[in-house]
Amino acid sequence: MVYGRKDEDIRIDPFVREFDMGLVRPLSRSVRLNGFATCLRLEQVYWDILAEMARLNRCTISTLLSHVDREVHLRHGGVKNFSGLVRVVCVVHSLREGRCMAMA
């Protein structure tokens, strides 16, 4: 099936050498957001990035996510897709750190 470009037009292969498909596997975890228990489903790569961010902040992943939840409510009145927000926060963190966690 053709989606507008031919394979030979791809110059940078998004599947890096030794790509770990385990990072794609979705994983549900129970977390507490500002005292409320909830379940968050993210791919393993995002849980890995959250773990690094929590380590850098010397806190738990739940504490980090509580901060994100609180700040999005204070600054923007909330968000409809919290999982999507968390994914974007992880990507922005990785870009600012100048590396891609999926390759680490």
Output the domain CATH number for residue 44.
Answer: 1.10.3990.20
Is residue 52 assigned to a domain? Answer: yes
> How many angstroms separate the CA atoms of 64 and 82, rounded?
13
How many domains is the chain built from?
A: 1
Contact 38, 30 (CB under 8 A): yes
Provide the residue range defining the domain that includes 50.
22-103
Helix (H, G, I), strand (E, B) or coil at 49: helix
Q: What is the pLDDT along the chain (104 residues), one digit of tens a residue?
A: 455 556 567 777 777 777 888 888 999 999 999 899 999 999 999 999 999 999 999 999 999 999 999 999 999 999 999 999 999 999 999 998 876 544 44
Q: How many other CB atoms are there within 10 angstroms of residue 46's CB atom? A: 22
Q: Give me the pLDDT at residue 97, please.
A: 80
pTM of this structure: 0.80
Q: Give me the pLDDT at residue 23, please.
A: 85
Residues in the chain: 104
Helix (H, G, I), strand (E, B) or coil at 26: strand
